[in-house]
């Protein structure tokens, strides 16, 4: 029996509650999204449910770089035409997608899985830093680009990684012009990202 305080059926409330957990939505946007899905079941809801099921079953993190794909190693790691000598370090998979859209980078990626944060309790061992050091130690690697957001936590992570990589004798660079302080990579336009990569500076 439905609670007197419930606005909609429990199934609809459950849908809204789950949608509200998606970053960027929130309760009000989740209600609007749920309404559109329910109004357009055949065109939106059913295909979306099918796509979610397939993604949940097949998408996985690449054991090498940490990017998401349906194959392991991922398509980017498997591409023999990319430059093995340069590794671009990013916080999240969305940053890889943003840089690929910009078309400015043709090397390899490494996804940390976040940034160091004392406030959120994210420590070095919580990120894929050991794997990065292992990859950067491979013969032929000559540069590591720290493509981290210009936030306090992003900069802190960059400093930490630069110190960890220092003994390898590599060039360690960071994104330069065009990345505003506090800016998130996946929110920047392609031209800004392209300029930032092209004018990167030593770390």
The 10s digit of each residue's pLDDT in 98-130 is: 999 988 899 999 999 999 999 999 999 999 999
Q: How many CA atoms lie within 13 A of 32 on its CB side?
A: 4
pLDDT of residue 151: 82
Residue among 125, 146, 154 nearest 201 (CA): 146
pLDDT less than 70: residues of the chain: 1-7, 176-203
pLDDT of residue 166: 93
pLDDT of residue 92: 97
Q: How many CB atoms lie under 10 A from the CB of residue 86?
A: 19
Strand partners, 88: 109, 145
Q: Judge whether 62 and 69 are in contact, CB under 8 Å.
A: yes
Strand partners, 36: none
pLDDT of residue 6: 59
pLDDT of residue 149: 84
Give the span between the Cα atoms of 46 and 41, in whole angstroms: 6
């Amino acid at each position: 029996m439905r609670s007197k305080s419930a606005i909609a059926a429990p199934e609809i409330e459950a849908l809204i509650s789950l949608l509200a957990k998606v970053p960027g939505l929130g309760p009000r946007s989740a209600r609007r999204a749920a309404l559109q899905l329910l109004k357009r079941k055949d065109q939106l809801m059913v295909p979306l449910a099918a796509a979610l099921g397939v993604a949940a079953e097949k998408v996985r993190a690449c054991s090498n770089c940490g990017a998401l794909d349906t194959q392991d190693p991922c398509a980017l790691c498997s591409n023999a035409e990319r430059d093995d000598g340069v590794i671009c370090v990013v916080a999240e998979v969305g940053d890889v997608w943003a840089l690929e859209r910009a078309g400015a980078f043709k090397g390899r990626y490494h996804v940390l899985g976040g940034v160091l944060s004392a406030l959120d309790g994210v420590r070095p061992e919580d990120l894929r830093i050991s794997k990065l050091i292992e990859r950067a130690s491979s013969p032929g690697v000559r540069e590591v680009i720290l493509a981290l957001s210009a936030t306090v936590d992003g900069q802190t992570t960059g400093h930490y990684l630069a110190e960890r990589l220092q003994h390898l004798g590599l060039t360690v660079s960071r994104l330069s012009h065009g990345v505003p302080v506090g800016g998130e990579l996946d929110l920047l336009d392609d031209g800004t990202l392209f300029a930032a990569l092209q004018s990167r500076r030593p770390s």
